[in-house]
Structure 1
Amino acid sequence: MSEELEALARVAVDCGFKLHEALGPGLLESVYEACLFQSLAERGLFVERQKPIPIRFNGISLEEGFRADLLVEGQLLIELKSTEAFVPVHGKQVLTYLRLMDLSLGLLMNFGAPTFRDGVRRIANNYFRS
């Protein structure tokens, strides 16, 4: 599974890079989300956008506890931002989402950063590359 997951991450990063290169920083997060969704789908990947994720706690069930920006092939979470810089809560948010979804790897992509390299982070949940 890790080879497949790594391949998905590489495709997602490539699509994100090309999107940032074409549009640059400063647009609304929803614009980048729609464009990245389309780019990944054009690569033949199954992508879910704004996927509702239930949360269960102490006998309470929230069917839409949060929404994942993009979920690729049911394995890779992509959380998008469009802000000048990351703040620590962004990474914590992705890690919490990964834990709630029982996923190993997520990408945090900030399209507001001056370069895509500055705006992409891998977040792992008990995941080790082989």
Structure 2
Amino acid sequence: MIKNLYIAIITILVFFNCKEKENDEVIYEWKTIDVTASAYNSLAYQTNSNPSITAFGDSLKPGMTCIAVSRDLLKMGLKHNTPVKIEGFDSIYLVKDKMNARWEKHIDIYMGTDVKAARDWGRREVVISYGVLKGE
């Protein structure tokens, strides 16, 4: 009897905790632009003496799917933690860093400490889509 009561309580808790709520859904309007994409690593010679800390103060760790954006893209809505889809990649990337002011319409894809992968990527023109919360 007690065992059945525990199972019933757990079932009810799981049901109500897993139920989606309309207010919790994040709805984006996706905008698309052409940019130049290069790659970078969290290595001191590519950034600064603390290569794992971004310009926004986030800590980078290899395996993260994040990008740095040129400052003109920040003004277009690609602000901190904006989701970004990059042509040729399956993952969604988050804006976690910003680039030097000299760059325009440019993203830098974070590739951890894998210098070979970053060099193999090189620099290319890509299409990106970025999510802007509806109503912003």
Q: TM-score, normalization: structure 1?
A: 0.28
Bigger helix share:
1
Determine which structure has greater relative contact order: mean sequence separation of CA pairs < 8 Å that are 6+ residues apart, divided by chain length: 2
Structure-2-length-normalised TM-score: 0.27
